[in-house]
Structure 1
Amino acid sequence: MKRFTTGLIAVGMLVAGTVSANATTLKLAHAAPQGDLQQKLAERFAEDVKTMSDGDITVQIFPQGQLGNDSQMITGTRSGIIDITMSGLNNFTGMMPELGGLMLPFMITDRDQAYEVYDGEIGQEASAKFENFGLKVLGYPENGFREITNNRGPIVEPKDLEGLRMRTNNSEALNEMFALLKANPQQIPVAELYTALETGVVDAQDHPITIVQSFKFYEVQKYLSLTNHSYAALVLAMNEKKFNSLSEDQQAIIMKAAKDAIDYERKLSKDGDAAMIADLESNGMIVNDDVDHAAFQKAVRPVWDTFTAKYGDELVNKVQAVTSK
């Protein structure tokens, strides 16, 4: 009996060793809280990858900046310390500043335009640029249209921004936009933004509704104005060497799971806008949708001119060919 039991243990160890040798664990990191749509995307992606690979690939999720800020996560993914990261496209423009043309104010004005841009030829050409930096783009999830929150009052026309100490991200175009409209832009990492708003370091900020909600900015901001001034895409990117180390079947699983998760997240974003706005109102925010978009579009046009003078107009013309249909 003892010899039989010992044999079973040996077989079990051999099987376990075989499973372990074939199994792959991928670390996926992002900066958003667990209640954000980015986490829902990550969970859907992880579930589908595990199911489609029969458990051979497991995705371990690290939300809320557990593995560093956006810049650190991108660096970690390029080096292979992190396998997959999800971050705003603006956080990659330090390497590829020409991609900032995708975020010019009022360049993309509705979701259908955005999806055609990012899922089509323009997005494919952008993805190829990432490979120069050791990254494989799995797709472009949605962060949403950027809106403005502040504590002074509704933003109806460009002059309403004058004098506001405005937190901005590292988008060259958006920083120029707010400076042009006589706000005082200050770059602050999103992980530090709540405290900066709470302590009055800045008066205002711009983010999609989902971020306003998930980061609980409604606790430190009174007014939300639906300016829709820039479409914010995310990038789901994988270490290229890690991706290439997978079998063709595994690569196909990763790409299919990423597409399905992005489609799922985009639908949640689109369908959830009204509910998120209602939730923000129930938490005390005053929501303003009376925005003079035409006045803003006219006022920010010099930002386009500056960008094209510096980086050329090829990308801008390609996007306009889509948005003018």
Structure 2
Amino acid sequence: MLDCSRRSFLVGAAALSATAVLGRPALAQAATKLRFGHPHPEVDAFHQAGLKFGELVSQKTNGQVTVEVYANGALGNDPTMIASVRGGTLDICLTGNPFFTGLAPKLNVLDLPYLFRDRDHVAKVLDGPIGESLRADLEASNLKALSTWEVGWRNLTNNRRAVETPADVKGLKIRTTPNPAHIQAFKLLGAVPTPMAFTELFTALEMGSIDGQENPVTLIQNAKFFEVQKYLTLTRHAFTTAPLVMNKPKFDALPEDQRMAIVEAAREAAVIQRTMNSEGEKIAVEALRADGMEVVDQIDVEPFRGLVADAVKAEYVTKFGGEVVDQITAAA
């Protein structure tokens, strides 16, 4: 049997222990760690802005949310990462808009050829009500689109000949995204469009199973496609956006202040990433020339536009109506 003083000591110690635990909930709460995957090289703006996004999230949440960024498709190719985020085995991913259009077909509008006038036009669409409405369409697929980044202006490379007119594209086997607008446009140009994931592209070019591909000059440089492609033509035939998406149940489960901080960080990082790409374009073309590519930088785009722009837009309008196309065209 315990004497009275011993019993009092034990009861007091237990009370102090309970008070200590209950009195420090913030210390006991573990930080939320988010894994973020993308398909581009570490030197690309996807990765550099992704790291900045992680810094901003940590700052805005006082370290309660951290982000680990994985480049080069380390967590899967484009479709695999999107499926993983939908299923909750990956928290966040970033890849080109064309890989999302199977889930939200109206998003295909952003990939219509020769749709955007310039980067200011792009920003007004993506950061305004049009962009918000299009991103909301992904929520039915278990995805919360935090903001929209960019891949950039698409240009054509190949190994067979310099492309100066639409006739030069005929017969080329060109890797495209799986996006209906991209596939239709290259069919109209007489090419053989061959959709595949970005992570598979370098090997396909190296093995000669395709003749060429189309991507922004910054990505052509950063992915070292100059090692496996000879000709570059600055067609700027489309602009590719890139939704930054998070597993929606994971996002919804976070406290409101953390959700707001993540969205705010995503939007700030989007501006940073687009600026990185814009500045990178200025030096990428000369760098690719220095790396041995033959560059066609003076090209009349009107024959290309005439073959693809109206026809691809008409196909989209037939399926989804012309309202969002008109809104984008009219964006000031």
TM-score (norm 1): 0.91
Equivalent position of 2:329 in the other structure: 320
Equivalent position of 1:220 in the other structure: 228
Where do 1:107-126 residues align within 5 Å? 107-126=115-134
Alignment deviations for residues 193-241 of structure 1 (CA, whole Å, 9 cap, x no partner)? 1111111111111011122112110000011111111010011011111
Equivalent position of 1:48 in the other structure: 56
Alignment deviations for residues 282-309 of structure 1 (CA, whole Å, 9 cap, x no partner)? 1111221112111111111222222222
Distance 2:307 2:124 in 1: 26
Equivalent position of 1:22 in the other structure: 30
Do structure 1's residue 176 and structure 2's residue 181 form an aligned pair? no
Instruction: Find the partner of 2:171 among 141, 163, 180.
Output: 163
Equivalent position of 2:139 in the other structure: 131
Distance 2:161 2:89 in 1: 44
In the TM superposition, residue 16 of structure 1 has moved relative to its aligned partner by 11
Alignment deviations for residues 73-122 of structure 1 (CA, whole Å, 9 cap, x no partner)? 11111111111111111111011122211111101131111111111111
Where do 1:194-233 residues align within 5 Å? 194-233=202-241
Q: Secondary structure at the match of 1:298?
A: helix
Instruction: Find the partner of 2:157 among 149, 154, 160.
Output: 149
Q: Secondary structure at the match of 1:198?
A: helix
Q: Which amino acid aligns with 2:93?
A: T
Do structure 1's residue 105 and structure 2's residue 105 form an aligned pair? no
Distance 2:277 2:28 in 1: 37
* Structure 1 contact 109–231 (Cα < 8 Å) conserved: no
Q: Secondary structure at the match of 1:140?
A: strand
Equivalent position of 2:319 in the other structure: 310
* Structure 1 contact 224–286 (Cα < 8 Å) conserved: yes
Q: Which amino acid aligns with 2:197?
A: P
In the TM superposition, residue 60 of structure 1 has moved relative to its aligned partner by 1.1
Q: Secondary structure at the match of 2:235?
A: coil
Structure 1 segments unaligned to the other structure (5+ residues): 1-9
Do structure 1's residue 236 and structure 2's residue 241 form an aligned pair? no
Instruction: Find the partner of 2:102 among 94, 97, 113.
Output: 94
Structure 2 segments unaligned to the other structure (5+ residues): 1-16
Q: Which amino acid aligns with 2:59?
A: T
Do structure 1's residue 297 and structure 2's residue 296 form an aligned pair? no
TM-score (norm 2): 0.90
Q: Secondary structure at the match of 2:29?
A: helix
Give the count of matched residue pairs. 313
In the TM superposition, residue 129 of structure 1 has moved relative to its aligned partner by 0.8
Distance 1:57 1:234 in 2: 23
Q: Secondary structure at the match of 1:95?
A: coil
Distance 1:97 1:291 in 2: 32
Instruction: Find the partner of 1:72 among 76, 80, 89.
Output: 80
- CA 21–162 in structure 1, closer or farther in 2 if over 3 Å, else same: same
Q: Secondary structure at the match of 1:112?
A: helix
Distance 1:78 1:136 in 2: 9
Alignment deviations for residues 15-48 of structure 1 (CA, whole Å, 9 cap, x no partner)? 9996462311011111111111100011001111
- CA 16–198 in structure 1, closer or farther in 2 if over 3 Å, else same: farther
Equivalent position of 1:37 in the other structure: 45
Equivalent position of 2:254 in the other structure: 246
Q: Which amino acid aligns with 2:185?
A: M
Q: Which amino acid aligns with 1:226?
A: L
Equivalent position of 2:9 in the other structure: none
Query: Larger Cα Rg: Structure 1 or Structure 2?
Result: 2
Distance 2:27 2:287 in 1: 46
Distance 1:315 1:52 in 2: 34
Alignment deviations for residues 136-181 of structure 1 (CA, whole Å, 9 cap, x no partner)? 1111112110000012233222111011111111010111111111
Do structure 1's residue 269 and structure 2's residue 253 form an aligned pair? no
Q: Secondary structure at the match of 1:146?
A: strand
* Structure 1 contact 142–266 (Cα < 8 Å) conserved: yes
- CA 19–287 in structure 1, closer or farther in 2 if over 3 Å, else same: farther
Q: What is the identity percentage for the equivalent residue pairs of Structure 1 and Structure 2?
A: 37
